[in-house]
């Protein structure tokens, strides 16, 4: 029995696939994992290190988003990815030289087979992963905080799987389902839909200073490593990709633009997206970072025409409950109608090809003139919203929305304003500033005729549309803004 025990002890290191590496007496022995990296030629070094550097660039971007966002799953996953990546880097470093700390010390001699450029990459990787290592505890603390906000247990179950199939709703932040708000009233506080109800306040999640400092230091070290690579090796920056995706919120898939190239060759046409209402009004029961701007704050609707020193009109339409609805913030309003299956290229500013339009409605689209007083503008906006226009048949849905039907064409008249900040924020105007009152109440506006045609619907309620700019009318004027100012 004793001999059997000695045999098992002698075979144990081989069975576990581990070996103990020599270490300085001041350090604990380092147990090396079984590595897939091999000490090879220069080409293999550059290829292996290039893959690791790119992985680390991607990981840093994920860490940056995890420590600044409210996603518990992302924080947990990123911490695990950091642990796994750290093991890959350590295996690679030890495959090239047994003691990275000695090789990369300021006074350390180059006892390896690495040349100057390879040693620069090697030591930059070693230093950058050292900068990222403390972020594991930061991500763990972030996970606990987010789990507390979400009202879930941050401990991973035994099977290693977290169930996030159901939306996470903090127990302290359950908001009721409220009906769609009507157009607001300028200069007056809106009446609450529920008495004594205040919507839940989402957390403001600012990245911790120690995290941003470590990420910046790791990026600088990786930039030094990239500079040492041969010119034939290229790298991708994921932060630029994320910014590009956010900037292209309303851009469709590239293949869609190619498919409709013939229609887009017509002047004053374009292809874009109409997003669902949830993209502009986030669900208060879903945890998010209120410091992150919403789609409406970052990029409010598709730009129809760029105008210098004037308000540039936008296609302020969203999809909601199977309908297309005009957005009516502030004094903005408009009206729309479904004219049926009419190709965009056949429409013009006269709307003669829109045969479903009654002569009365065509006259409304072509000759309507907005009023020049705030109260009258609000009344017109509410009339179009409710569908109760004088001398026109009542519309149950209102003239500011219509059922969404693919391959139908919709004609819109959009009246939009950019009101002065002193009016929107009810800022008091001091007596000393009254001499520049004309500058303070300066208002820009637009009034345009446009048509769009939905050609594809995604599962989330987003529509791909083709649009055409049909014409514009004189910019509306507002003559009584000064009456609504808060004079100090």
Using one digit for the tens of pLDDT, what is the confidence trace for 402-431? 999 999 999 999 999 988 877 777 777 777
**Closest by alpha carbon to 340, among 273, 398, 402?**
402
Instruction: Tell whether 407 and 367 lie within a shared domain.
Output: yes
Which residue is it, tokens 């309908």?
A: 323
pLDDT tens digits for 195-221? 666 666 777 777 888 888 999 999 999
* Number of structural domains the chain divides into: 2
pLDDT band at 153 (very low <50, low <70, confident <90, very high): low
Instruction: Tell whether 258 and 289 lie within a shared domain.
Output: yes
Instruction: Tell whether 321 and 442 lie within a shared domain.
Output: yes
Q: Which of 242, 271, 305 is the last residue of a domain?
A: 242
**In angstroms, how far is CA 49 from the centroid of its own chain?**
32
Instruction: Tell whether 314 and 377 lie within a shared domain.
Output: yes
The pTM score is 0.65
Which residues form the domain of 137? 35-170+205-242
Instruction: Tell whether 154 and 261 lie within a shared domain.
Output: no
Instruction: Tell whether 287 and 231 lie within a shared domain.
Output: no
In this structure, is residue 22 part of a structural domain? no
Q: Look at residue 158 in the predicted model and tell me its pLDDT.
A: 46
In this structure, is residue 184 part of a structural domain? no
In this structure, is residue 230 part of a structural domain? yes
In this structure, is residue 412 part of a structural domain? yes
Q: Which residues pair with 269 in a beta bridge?
A: 468
pLDDT band at 31 (very low <50, low <70, confident <90, very high): very low
Instruction: Tell whether 105 and 217 lie within a shared domain.
Output: yes
Q: Which of 215, 242, 269 is the last residue of a domain?
A: 242
* pLDDT, greater one: 223 or 245: 223
Instruction: Tell whether 234 and 253 lie within a shared domain.
Output: no
Q: Which of 242, 267, 288 is the last residue of a domain?
A: 242
Instruction: Tell whether 352 and 228 lie within a shared domain.
Output: no
In this structure, is residue 227 part of a structural domain? yes
Instruction: Tell whether 129 and 156 lie within a shared domain.
Output: yes
Q: Look at residue 141 in the predicted model and tell me its pLDDT.
A: 85
In this structure, is residue 386 part of a structural domain? yes
Buried b (16+ CB within 10 A) or exposed e, 22-42: eeeeeeeeeeeeeeebeeeee
In this structure, is residue 21 part of a structural domain? no
**Closest by alpha carbon to 332, among 412, 418, 396, 395?**
418
């Amino acid at each position: 029995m004793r001999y059997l025990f000695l045999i098992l002890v002698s075979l144990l290191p081989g069975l576990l696939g581990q070996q103990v590496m020599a270490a300085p007496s001041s350090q604990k022995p380092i147990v090396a994992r079984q590595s897939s990296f091999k000490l090879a030629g220069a080409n293999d070094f550059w290829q292996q290190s290039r893959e690791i550097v790119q992985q680390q660039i991607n990981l840093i971007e994920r860490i940056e988003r995890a420590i600044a966002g409210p996603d518990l799953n992302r924080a947990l996953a990123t911490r695990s990815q950091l642990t796994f990546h750290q093991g890959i880097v350590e295996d690679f470093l030890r495959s090239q030289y047994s003691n990275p700390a000695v090789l990369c010390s300021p006074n350390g001699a180059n006892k390896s087979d690495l040349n100057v450029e390879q040693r620069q990459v090697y030591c930059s990787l070693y230093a950058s992963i050292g900068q990222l290592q403390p972020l594991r505890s930061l991500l763990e603390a972030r996970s606990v905080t987010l789990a507390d906000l979400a009202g879930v247990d941050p401990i991973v179950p035994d099977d290693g799987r977290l169930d996030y199939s159901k939306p996470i709703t903090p127990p302290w932040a359950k908001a009721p389902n409220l009906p769609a708000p009507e157009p607001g009233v300028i200069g007056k506080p809106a009446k609450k839909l529920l008495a004594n109800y205040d919507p839940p306040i989402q957390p403001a999640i600012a990245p911790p200073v120690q995290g941003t400092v470590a990420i910046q230091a790791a990026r600088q070290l990786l930039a030094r490593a990239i500079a040492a690579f041969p010119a034939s090796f290229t790298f991708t920056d994921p932060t630029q990709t994320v910014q590009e995706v956010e900037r292209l919120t309303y851009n469709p898939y590239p293949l869609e633009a190619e498919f409709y190239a013939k229609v887009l060759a017509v002047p004053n046409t374009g292809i874009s997206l109409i997003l669902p209402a949830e993209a502009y009004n986030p669900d208060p029961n879903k945890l998010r970072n209120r410091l992150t701007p919403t789609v409406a704050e970052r990029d409010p609707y598709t730009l129809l025409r760029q105008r210098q020193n004037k308000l540039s009109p936008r296609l302020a339409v969203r999809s909601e409950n199977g309908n297309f609805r005009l957005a009516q913030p502030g004094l903005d309003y408009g009206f729309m109608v479904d004219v049926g299956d009419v190709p965009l290229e056949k429409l013009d500013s006269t709307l003669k090809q829109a045969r479903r339009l009654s002569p009365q409605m065509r006259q409304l689209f072509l000759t309507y003139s907005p009023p020049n007083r705030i109260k009258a503008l609000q009344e017109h906006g509410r009339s179009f919203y409710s569908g109760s226009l004088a001398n026109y048949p009542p519309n149950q849905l209102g003239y500011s929305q219509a059922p969404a039907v693919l391959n139908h064409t919709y004609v819109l008249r959009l009246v939009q304003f950019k009101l002065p900040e002193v009016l929107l924020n009810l800022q008091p105007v001091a007596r000393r500033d009254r001499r520049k009152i004309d500058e303070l109440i300066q208002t820009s506006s637009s009034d345009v005729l446009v048509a769009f045609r939905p050609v594809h619907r995604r599962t989330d309620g987003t529509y791909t549309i083709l649009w055409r700019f049909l014409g514009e009318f004189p910019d509306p004027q507002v003559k009584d803004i000064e009456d609504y100012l808060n004079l100090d």
